[in-house]
Chain A
Amino acid sequence: MHITDTMPEKREQHLCEDCAEKAGVIIKQTHHTTNEILQQFIKHKTGLGGGDDLACPKCGLTFKEFQVKGLLGCPHDYVAFAALLTPLIQRAHEGGTHHVGKVPPTAEATVKKQTGLLRLRRELQEAIDQENYERAARVRDQIRTLEIG
């Protein structure tokens, strides 16, 4: 450990970690930040080849630029660089590949609508198969209402 004490006058000390602790000096944390770990991994991946000249058609960011900054350029990068990002994301998230958390209310409504439509179309098919045209007409109207909404 290397300490520079600037008060009252500049004085340099060279201490081992234990002595520095005894002297009541703050111990600097020796750990890597998330981005540093990510950078190392990104660089390692480059060693495996490929992706350098890949660019996102929407924002123009290249994969090489992402490797330097550690930050993406737009939401579409997740699609444009999917093949290269997937193993990286998996590694950064303990093997996690799918979101299981909160869904924005608007997306939730879309999902509900889609699953609702799927269910109703299945019901419509069943009604037709059973030649229950009255029910089929009712279901068809429900589908139309949901599609418009």
Chain B
Amino acid sequence: MTIDDLTKTTGEWLRGVGPMSDIVVSSRIRLARNLAEHPFLTTADAGQRTEIYRCLSQAITSTSPGKDDLLVDLETADLIDRNVLVERHLISRQHAAAEGSRGVTVSPNETRAVMINEEDHLRMQGLRSGLQLEELWAEINDVDDSLAKDLAFAFDRRLGYLTACPTNVGTGIRVSVMLHLPALRLTKEIERVARAARDLRLAVRGLYGEGTEAIGDLYQVSNQTTLGKSEEAIIHTFSETIIPNIVGYERTARETLARHHESQLDDRIGRAYGVLCNARRISSGETQSLLSPIHMGIQMGRFKEFDLHTLHELFLYTQPAHLQKMQGRSLDEDQRAVARADYIRKRLAPK
């Protein structure tokens, strides 16, 4: 398996299936772990870094869950390939841009990705379309158990798993759910919901995690507390309370729009489609902003020009690295704007 093979499909997080998938795009659980006998990456020298990478990449690919995984050495991988992995949510932007010995293992169906030498030695993450946190936890917990048979993780009886940043100490878990909330933005309730979530000590971020913008009305909600609560308790609060509540608000906002602002809603969807079909140059940000009302239109049964699968393809393949991968060459921003508009027009042209 290669990165080129991955790009043939839109991957796990854009499958558009699973519970509450009209609003919940994807679920993710990540566990942070460090090897007990090595320093954290902040103070590890190049030799130690290489040794950690060698030891962990070997350990992951020799476990039964990881034996068919694709191992990508990010120190030698080219920039477009690294960014393809970012756009597919398999590695963080920081991991793609960092230097030194580091990598990632990706399972063939992209439901699992393990980053080696990111902020911590290991960041194992499970990804699923829709709200499927319990299933994810079972899978990622299993990977953790398999690795712990041969590796000693830094662990303290009182503080739990020891991580480079004290904000992750304890369980080292981050539960993250990506939600599509266009109606809450249109009804101007999004800030109120985001504030309420932050009051519950949750982080609300944009598409690509920490410090990024909420492009295309996609928001990531994740826990910040990792000490003093069990993994199951954190997951349970997400799947039983937090996410169903936000989903409920978005559904109500969508009903309000359909009932009281029908023409404005359909106008927004129709105009977005019009621009996508006719633009001659378009940025990826604008593409995602235009796909957002269409996505909502499809989920509400108000847009029938193309289906969810096409929407996901347009979403992923118009992002810079995927676009360049498809074209087979590197393009500057200006060339990308033209190539992107061409791709969208062709994809949406009547058959």
Interfacial residues, chain A to chain B (CB-CB below 8 A): 7-8, 21, 24, 26-29, 31, 33-35, 38, 58-61, 69-75, 78, 85, 88-89, 92-107
Contact = CB atoms under 8 A, between A and B. Distances in A.
Given A26-B215, A38-B165, A101-B160, A75 B229 contact: no
B289 interface: yes
Contacts of A93: 167, 169-170, 225-228
Interface in B201-243: 201, 203-206, 210-215, 224-231
B149 interface: yes
Interface string B36-67: 10111011000000000000000000000000
B193 interface: no
B159 A26 contact: no
Given A26-B289, A34-B210, A73-B43, A98 B165 contact: no
Contacts of B188: 21
Contacts of A89: 159, 166, 169, 227
Nearest to B282: A7
B298 interface: no
A144 B61 CA distance: 38
B141 interface: yes
**Interface size grouping (class) on chain B:** 35 or more
A29 B195 CA distance: 12
Given A8-B281, A29-B214, A99-B160, 14 more contacts: A7-B337, A24-B289, A38-B165, A93-B169, A93-B228, A96-B227, A97-B228, A98-B227, A98-B228, A101-B171, A102-B144, A102-B171, A104-B153, A104-B155
Nearest to B147: A104
Contact of A29 (B206, B225, B337): B206
Contact of A34 (B212, B224, B231): B224
A78 B39 contact: no
A99 B145 contact: no
B158 A61 contact: no
A71 B41 CA distance: 9
19 contacts: A7-B281, A21-B185, A26-B213, A26-B214, A33-B203, A34-B167, A35-B167, A58-B39, A59-B43, A74-B39, A93-B226, A96-B170, A99-B158, A99-B171, A101-B160, A101-B170, A101-B171, A101-B173, A107-B155
B162 interface: yes
B283 interface: yes
B165 A71 contact: yes
Contacts of A106: 148, 152
Contact of A60 (B43, B144, B153, B204): B43
B244 to A, nearest CB: 22
Please indicate which of the listed interface residues A21, A38, A102 has the most CB atoms of chain B within 10 Å of its own CB.
A102
Given A26-B215, A75-B34, A105 B145 contact: yes
B231 A102 contact: yes
Contacts of B332: none
B20 interface: no
A91 B211 CA distance: 21
User: Most chain-A CB neighbours within 10 Å: which of B43, B148, B166?
Assistant: B166
Contacts of A96: 170, 225, 227-229
Contacts of B99: none
A89 B42 CA distance: 19
Nearest to B268: A24
A73 B153 CA distance: 15
Given A27-B214, A75-B40, A105-B149, A70 B155 contact: no
Contacts of B248: none
A75 B38 CA distance: 8
A14 to B, nearest CB: 19
Nearest to B290: A24
Contacts of A70: 165
Nearest to B163: A72
Contacts of B266: none
A71 B164 contact: yes
B166 A72 contact: yes
Contacts of B141: 102
A32 to B, nearest CB: 9
Contacts of B337: 7
Interface in B107-166: 119, 141, 144-145, 148-149, 152-162, 164-166
A94 B170 contact: no
A92 B167 contact: yes
